[in-house]
Homo-oligomer: A and B are copies of this chain.
């Protein structure tokens, strides 16, 4: 059917090994022969069959990316970084979207088998010990982005620190009654960011000798609407908080909507800090913690490619910085 290396060899009057050498830029081909082969390749409009190459070399030139809820802006942004970095290489990106725990387990168990991919990038999901074990046994490198496992390569952000930054900012503005709006702490996917942000919230309170009031802590589904309800709940307490730290910008926006509905002006009556610094945040002038979503994807790819090429002994860990972006949704506590 299609043109193979043997057709080219025949046409150029050489052996297939020579054609292969030309294709792979081997130095030991005479200039004359090389030209003849290149001509035959051009004449026949030949391109090597990548599948055959993969079988023969044992490399799939493919990276598997496992990502949960890939329509959510945070994950999309990370995925975009991954995509961008991979597009500059010869690797293909195979996408696995996870929306259920069953899918998570399925992909994490399937991918190390069969040598389907040369490496796996996992976004925001932490594999079990058994799953990590399978990766090691099949010697398929894994890199976790915003997830953790002691034996894995990781690209992480210190969300405890990020939450601390947000809280310190509010505290330094004089706020003492600070609410927290976040995701369910017992989410079955166990996103590490969720727990870490809450931990940072509590740490910062403790460091400032402020008591933790459980009713200032709201947890719920992710999304603007759920956050609006949580914000409403906080703001209609007998003694409402004067500032709210939201675990994501999306949730911060929900909180601000709740405030608006209740006739509270931001930042005059209520200070709000978000997290992630998504696209909309700058536009909405939201004070937030910038986390390098896109860069985390890029860094993950770099780490993975390194692991694939050199298979070093020690798993590496890259920690990316967070940054407080002060905009217009926070202000000193009025007295």
Q: Are B80 and A97 within 8 A (Cβ)?
A: yes
| Nearest-Cβ distance from residue A128 to partner chain B, whole angstroms | 18
A114 interfacial by beta-carbon distance below 8 Å: yes
Residues of B within 8 A of A71 (CB): 73, 76-77, 80
Within A50-92, which residues are at the interface with B (CB < 8 Å)?
50-52, 54-55, 60, 62, 70-71, 73, 76-77, 80, 83-84, 87, 92
A-side interface residues, number (CB < 8 Å): 36
Closest residue of chain B to A57, judged by CB?
B51
Residues of B within 8 A of A51 (CB): 51, 54-55, 60, 115-116
Given A52-B55, A97-B83, A97-B87, are A47 and B225 neighbors across the interface (CB < 8 Å)?
Answer: no
Closest residue of chain B to A82, judged by CB?
B95
| Nearest-Cβ distance from residue A69 to partner chain B, whole angstroms | 9
- The residue among A77, A113, A224 with the most chain B CB atoms within 10 A of its own CB is A113
User: A198 vs B29: C-alpha distance in the bound complex, in angstroms?
Assistant: 59
Interface of A is mostly: helix
User: A325 vs B280: C-alpha distance in the bound complex, in angstroms?
Assistant: 25
Residues of B within 8 A of A93 (CB): 94-95
Given A2-B115, A55-B52, A94-B93, are A70 and B47 neighbors across the interface (CB < 8 Å)?
Answer: no
Q: Which residues of A contact B (CB under 8 A)?
A: 2, 47-52, 54-55, 60, 62, 70-71, 73, 76-77, 80, 83-84, 87, 92-97, 103, 113-116, 138, 224-225, 280, 283
